[in-house]
Structure 1
Amino acid sequence: MTAGGYDAVLLAGFGGPEGPDDVMPFLRNVTRGRGIPEERLVEVSHHYQALGGVSPINDQNRALRAALEKALRHRGLDLPVIWGNRNWEPYISDVVADAARDGRRRLLGVATSAYSSYSSCRQYREDFGGALLSTGLVGEVVIDKIRPYFDTAGFIDPFADGTAAAVQHALDDDFDISQIEILFTTHSIPDAMADSSGAACLGDHVPGGAYVTQHMAACAAVAAAVAGRCGATPAWQLVYQSRSGPPSMPWLEPDICDVIEGMGARGYSAAVVVPIGFVSDHVEVVWDLDHEARDAAEAAGVWFERVATPGTDRRFVAGLAALVAERLQGRRPDLTIGPVSLPQRPDFCATGCCVNLRGAKPTTAGQDSARDWEDTDVSAEQLIRSGIPGRLPV
């Protein structure tokens, strides 16, 4: 076993179809138990079929797995990186079972999502717990998870570079800085899920919760970097995309296409679109932005450029490797506030963190896998006494 007691990194992804015949089964996996009508799945399937029936996400995660393993070796950590998905092969449960057969009994999870919310953080912990239950490995295999990493320089800097370059392209095309609007975009989620993201004892359960707060802080960090490189910052806002719920359910707004359609009325004629909520250019980036949002811009007569996601950018991969190394070496997050003006989150999930509003499911632990902090009454005072440094929001 390596330092810190871990003997593999588990890269946990969303998954995606690898051929036309996979598309509908994949979409049914994604929406199982959510009551999404079949006709809506057929509609979404057309997005995948237009791209050949193949999602780029699996190849992107294969590349990220190889890059992360290489970055860990560069740090002197001989730690294999295994990869499993929530919704398509290779499934997390199968990968965990294979790891156990190979004698790898303590895994450190890295989710391909940077923020706190049920779907982007806690559900991966449920995936880990479900994998242990379905394989009969409870008590034999332990799976921890690194903290959300929206605030790391490796995540922020690639977005800052791409946004500054896109703003400069608009300026070079004779748009004034006052005519440019930066649209930071992320996946919309139900208002109730957003409001319950984070942990009550950390002061996160406010309108929008940790999900919106973290995105806004990341956006502000990118905007500040743009100001330093371009001499000024265009107007910017956080918008949302890829809504999938029924019209009767409130989801985070405004929708990016609606915002683009109204840009002219607000005095803007150039849109720089930054997919700040995503780590790679998968279907919801390629289709929803490069097709639907771009089409909306063309119809509105708006100049359009979309910034790339971090993907396998060297800095992003190095940042993930640093978080893994932090856990391997048994160190707590330090007091340093990174490029984002929020305290670093603790490495374990406190009581009620990003609750599952449809009902509790078994999860694996965060900082201490011998116990699920979910089931303990952890107060902010106890967090401070336990050695988690930094400011706690009030």
Structure 2
Amino acid sequence: MTPHDFLRLHDPSWSSFEDVGSESSLRIVEGDCVGVVVFNLGGPESLDDVEPFLYNLLMDPLLFDLPVEGRLRHWLAKSVAYVRAQTLRDRYEMIGGGSPLTRLAREQAQSLQGHLASQYGQSTGVEFRTYSAMRYGHPFWEEAAAQMAADGVDKAVLLPGYPQFSTFTTGSALAYWKALSAADERASWPTTVVPEYAANPKYVQAVSERIDQALQRFPRNVRREVVLVFSAHDTVFGARGQRGDPYCCHVHSTVEQVMRHRNRDQPFHTTFQSVMGPSSWLSPSTPDTIETLAERDHRSVLVVPISFVTDHVNTSYDLDISVRARAEARGIDHFEVTASLNTHPLFIEALGEATIAQLDLPVDVNQLRFGGDGQSRGYPLRPYHQRPRHGLNGQSSSCSECGSGQGARRWTLPDRSTEPDAPSDPSSTRSDPSVPQGSESASDGDS
């Protein structure tokens, strides 16, 4: 499908979070082949791929709400991609000559297939196959769909490489999937969608372990003083509000769960990065927050990429090169960035739980998880629509950033010893005067 075809076919309702979040579990019978599509944005794997990748990105009406359509949009996207390509080629050259995102996403899908087969395949009589699909580069969604048809897939699970839902990422990908069906460019399968897994305990623990690993790179005598800066990819604030996008609520939910898991052992901030263009963006920005910390004589900072699950330009260049240089120039003595999750075993388990929770398997999967005795030693897997939301903070059920109350869905029952939720980090709110409110561009590469 060409970008022009998608412009012509797409329906804004196809990316609606309300529709995605209301889907029920998918009935699976013994002998079924379940195809799990692990999807992401993609990225240019070589320097020659940078310009076409940017063009595809700019042609997405859900990602860039431009005032022109049709041929004018094509011309504008081509022109901007041509102008921006050289700057981005320089950045990709600095991180190895291309984006590692697509390769790492394939590795995640392969690891997930092995995990699903070993943990659930034999005991349920179900075959699991995983596929990697990228929104703006190879392998495109239609390539994944063609392979699924060739493999004889019976039913499908769409699993985002984005723990937090956004119209601009998960929503856009799902709209593209539906457009392929409308254009009769893919086969059809009974399908379920994983909307988000922003508070999955295995995902939260994996992030926490990456923090622990990175803290070891700081001198022992400063570790307790290290400020954690959780950095999520930014989105346009105005467009998000209009579309009921829960993204910032989900980001805050993830940070809250990570810090609760860590017993709030370090000072922390929640920030947003990689702004593109002059629109109204979420705040505070990551670079501005780093500068403010330096002005307040904080000398040890650990940046935690919280909405990114693979290494790519937004982490390897934006954070580890660009933001690092600014931090060091302003007197930050110790600056580190946590490694991305990539194929961290706990993250692969989280993807497995997110997948299995959406399936009504021929065997009670919770009996399998709890050793067959029915006694819960963890948390039962339940379909997305059956799980309640996390609270966002102790004072209000509304997000301080967007005014919404769409916290991530719970995986575990509330712990009454810690409920209601402890107050979220005040520095991540729009109203806190101690935090910079501006946003700053870092990159417009892959996500």
Q: Same fold (TM over 0.5)?
A: yes
Matches within 5 A, 1:90-109: 90-109=139-158
Cα 1:312–1:176 change in 2 (3 A) is closer
Q: For residue 234 of structure 1, what is the aligned residue in structure 2?
A: 266
Q: CA offsets per residue over residues 301-325 of structure 1, 9 Å max, x none? A: 2111111222111111112112222
CA distance, structure 2, for counterparts of residue 288 and residue 117 of structure 1: 21
For 2:235 and 2:384, how far apart are their aligned partners in 1? 29
Distance in 2 between residues matched to 1:76 and 1:6, nearest whole Å:
13
1:300 aligns with 2:330: yes
Greater Cα offset, 251-260 or 184-193: 251-260
Pairing partner for 1:184 from 230, 254, 258: 230
CA gap of 1:120–1:194, structure 2 versus 1, over 3 A, is same
Amino acid at match of 2:335: F
Distance in 1 (alpha carbons) for counterparts of 2:258 and 2:281: 25
Hey, what does 1:316 align to over in structure 2? 347
Pair 1:43–1:337, CA change in 2 (3 A): same
In structure 2, the CA distance between the partners of 1:333 and 1:191, relative to structure 1 (3 Å rule), is: closer
Q: Please say which of residues 100-109 and 82-91 is displaced more in the overlay.
A: 100-109
- 1:76 shift after superposition: 3.0
Give the aligned partner of residue 115 of structure 2. 71
TM-score, with normalisation over the residues of structure 2? 0.66
Question: Identity rate of aligned residues, in percent?
Answer: 22
Q: Which residue of 1 aligns with 2:29?
A: 3
Which amino acid is the alignment partner of residue 332 of structure 1?
A: P
Q: 1:113 to 1:333 in 2, by over 3 A?
A: closer
Matches within 5 A, 1:238-257: 238-244=270-276, 246-247=277-278, 249-257=279-287
In the aligned structure 1, how far is the partner of 2:387 from the partner of 2:135?
Answer: 33
Which residue number corresponds to residue 47 of structure 1? 91
- Say whether residues 1:82 and 2:101 are aligned partners: no
Q: Check whether the contact 1:17–1:53 (CA below 8 A) recurs between aligned residues.
A: no
Give a deviation string over 1:276-324, Cα, whole Å, max 9, x none.
Answer: 1111112211111111111112111211111122211111111211222
Which portions of structure 1, spanning 4 or more consecutive aligned residues, are displaced by more than 6 angstroms? 334-338
Measure, in 2, the Cα distance between the counterparts of 1:144 and 1:161. 30
8 Å CA contact 2:194–2:384 kept in 1: the answer is: no
Counterpart selection for 1:216 from 249, 252, 255? 252
| CA pair 162-95 structure 1, distance change in 2 beyond 3 A | closer
Distance 1:24 1:137, change over 3 A: closer
CA distance in 2, matches of 1:176, 1:79: 43
* Separation in 2, partners of 1:89, 1:115: 23
Deviation, 1:57, is 0.6
1:327 counterpart = 2:358:
yes
Hey, what's the Cα distance between the residues in 2 that align with 1:237 and 1:221? Answer: 14
Gaps of 5+ in 1: 198-204, 343-379, 381-388
Deviation of 1:234 (Å)? 2.6
Q: Is the 8 A contact 2:100 2:312 kept in 1?
A: yes
- Between 1:95-104 and 1:306-315, the stretch displaced more is 95-104
**TM superposition shift of 1:105:** 4.5
Between the aligned partners of 1:226 and 1:26, the Cα distance in structure 2 is 39
Task: Give the structure-1-normalised TM-score.
Answer: 0.75
Structure 2 SS opposite 1:156: helix
User: Is the contact made by 2:214 and 2:339 (CA closer than 8 Å) also made in structure 1?
Assistant: no
Structure 2 unpaired stretches of 5+: 1-26, 65-75, 122-126, 362-381, 393-405, 407-411, 415-447
* 2:315 counterpart (268, 285, 289): 285
Residue 304 of structure 2 corresponds to 274
Q: Which amino acid in structure 1 is aligned with residue 346 of structure 2?
A: R
The aligned residue for residue 175 of structure 1 is 222
Task: Pick from 118, 138, 158 the counterpart of residue 206 of structure 2.
Answer: 158
Distance 1:148 1:162 in 2: 21
CA contact (8 A) 1:187 1:240 kept: yes
Counterpart Cα distance in 2 of 1:332 and 1:225: 23
**Aligned length, in residue pairs:** 330
